[in-house]
Amino acid sequence: MRLFVLDIGNSRATAALVAGKTVRRISHFPSPPGPGALRAVVPDPDAVAVCSVAPAKNAAWQRALSRAFPRVPRRWLSHDLDFGIPVTLSAPAQTGLDRYADAVAAAETCGTPCIACDFGTATTFNLVLPRKGFVGGAIAPGFGMWFEALHAGTAQIPAVPPSGALRIPCAGNTADALRLGSRWGFRGMVAEILYQLSQAVPQKDRPRIAYCATGGWAPRVLKDCGLELVHLPHLTLRGIARICTLNPPSP
- Give catalytic residues, as residue numbers: 98
Number of Cβ within 10 Å of residue 151's Cβ equals 13
Q: Three-state DSSP class for 209? A: coil
Instruction: Work out the angle at residue 238's Cα, subtended by the Cα atoms of residues 237 and 241, and round it to the nearest 5 degrees.
Output: 90
Number of Cβ within 10 Å of residue 44's Cβ equals 9
Task: Detail the DSSP E strand segments found in 65-163.
Answer: 74-76, 114-119, 122-129, 133-141
Write the DSSP assignment of 133-154 as a string of letters: EEEEEEEEE-HHHHHHHHHHH-
Check: CB of residue 90 under 8 Å from CB of residue 135: no
Pairing of strands 210-214, 230-231: parallel
Cα of first residue to Cα of last residue in the chain, in angstroms, is 14
Please name which of 54, 12, 48, 17 lies closest in space to residue 31, comparing C-alpha atoms. 12
Distance CA 38, CA 119 (A): 25
Instruction: Work out the angle at residue 44's Cα, subtended by the Cα atoms of residues 38 and 81, and round it to the nearest 5 degrees.
Output: 80
